[in-house]
Amino acid sequence: MTDLNTLGLAEARDALRAGSTTSKELTEACLKAIEDAGVLNAFAHHTPEIAMEQAAAADARIAVGDAPEMCGLPIGIKDLFCTKGVPSQAGSRILEGFLPEYESTVSGNLLGSGAVMLGKLNMDEFAMGSSNETSVYGNAINPWKVDERQLTPGGSSGGSAAAVAADLCLAATGTDTGGSIRQPAAFTGTVGIKPTYGRCSRWGVVAFASSLDQAGPMTKSVRDAAIMLETMCGYDPKDSTSADLAVPNFEALMTGDIRGKKIGLPKEYRMDGMPAEIDKLWADGADMLRDAGAEIVDISLPHTKYALPAYYVIAPAEASSNLARYDGVRYGHRATLDAGDGITEMYEKTRAEGFGPEVQRRVMIGTYVLSAGFYDAYYNRARRVRTLIKKDFEDVFATGVNAILTPATPSSAFGLGEMTDVDPVQMYLNDVFTVTVNMAGLPGISVPVGLDSKGLPMGLQLIGRPWEEGDLLSSAYALEKAAGFVAKPTKWW
């Protein structure tokens, strides 16, 4: 077999079980691809020795018939996940040199099943960004290219998206606080699913906004997403928000038979100024699902217009609280002090040096909205709006709607630097279609459906009922089959 790194999880899993390749061969192919694609800057920390040791152990397990679904499959881990003995910086200078003494539950689940860790993937600092341009490692680059411009792979899971799209790994972990799995997936022609809040443990994942953060897989197909998600999920008593629910066999539930299912189209997502290509993509996606047997119905989510401003109150508020722990005392970066400096100066200098401008901006916003004079006017009001957004979805699902179809992003991938030099709000608008899902704690998936006029991938989002990832994956599989998206970036690196 050639070009083993281009395989998806399902193909590689079946090849390993059939004995037509080995985990060592798969891992070597990925390590070579990573080496050749250094310009993409997708990986922040490389772990080739660890990967080859894990591959050898996986081959030994497979040889004796002990082969869980992810056994022997080489993947990348987003730098937000703490990995024992391996640098885990969350894309930030302030965690420089941090080597965790523990493994996050999600990465532990994957490694325990025999998955092979190729390294840690680039990301926006503390997951705060939509373009991977706030990373201390420098930005990852989208492998899709249409002219001389370098394009964003999206954010914050930009390194994960770029690595999967460029076949540097078979799949990768991501996290999603306001769209950080689904937006990069749409920008790179890959699949990304954010499961229901509480489905994956947050223990050992560096916190951004604790009531919104959720881990999920980024893969080359919907089937691969089902395979990886099952291993990532599970109840974890170390996470108080982890759901004590059995994890179903998502792959088995993924029949693709959506005959008789109701798919909703929310009228509020038809926004002024939306590009005609996105609108057409959405209409085409609805037609595909209709042709597959689904009933397409118009629905209303009336509080959608308040979701983005409410999100950008709640998320920074929680970030302000979570990031207070980074003080230079116990781990990570500590500023050099002048004679006479005390602990207050040490805190101030360390945080000023350690946090980038976007993180500082959000910490200040969060601190402001939590302050005594503004807590009720901003934070509490945003929480009430969040409750209304959640109720909108509950009311729609109560009518028998199985899933909701929307655009994943308001455009295809934009050029690096194009958004950073303008009002930050323009960057925040990239999350306009995705933040409602996090606010309501629902599962959402981005599926690549077509190319725009420039030849760049565009994705559609399906939003599912809580805890119904199997049903959502089945609908996504039907959309994937109907779209027949097989385009890959032309290798220029």
Catalytic positions are 78, 156, 180
Measured between alpha carbons, how far is 232 from 127 in angstroms, rounded to an integer? 19
Torsion of CA 388, 392, 398, 401, to 10 degrees: -160
Contact 310, 304 (CB under 8 A): no
Tokens, residue 385: 């709006």
Got the DSSP string for 47-62?
-HHHHHHHHHHHHHHH
Q: What residues contact residue 267 under an 8 Å CB cut-off, 6+ apart?
A: 298, 299, 300
Q: Of 301, 282, 299, which is closest to residue 290 (Cα–Cα)?
A: 282
Report the run of H or E that residue 374 belongs to, with start and end. Answer: none
- For 128, what's the count of Cα atoms within 13 Å in the CB-facing half-sphere? 30
- Report CA Rg, the chain: 21
Measured between alpha carbons, how far is 397 from 404 in angstroms, rounded to an integer? 9
Tokens, residue 232: 């990532």
For residue 251, CA distances in Å to 458, 466, 469 come to 25, 18, 10
Question: Which strands make up the sheet holding 444-451, listed edge to edge?
Answer: 43-46, 116-121, 74-78, 171-176, 214-219, 191-194, 444-451, 457-464, 403-407, 262-266, 295-299
Q: Of 126, 130, 219, 242, which is closest to residue 448 (Cα–Cα)?
A: 219
* Phi (first) and psi of residue 483, to 5 degrees: -70, -35
Got the DSSP string for 214-242?
EEEEEESSHHHHHHHHHHH----TTSTT-
Interhelix angle 48-63/23-36, nearest 10 degrees:
160
Measured between alpha carbons, how far is 134 from 140 in angstroms, rounded to an integer? 10
Instruction: List the beta strands (DSSP E) in 94-223.
Output: 116-121, 171-176, 191-194, 214-219
- In sequence order, the β-bridge partners of residue 405 are 462
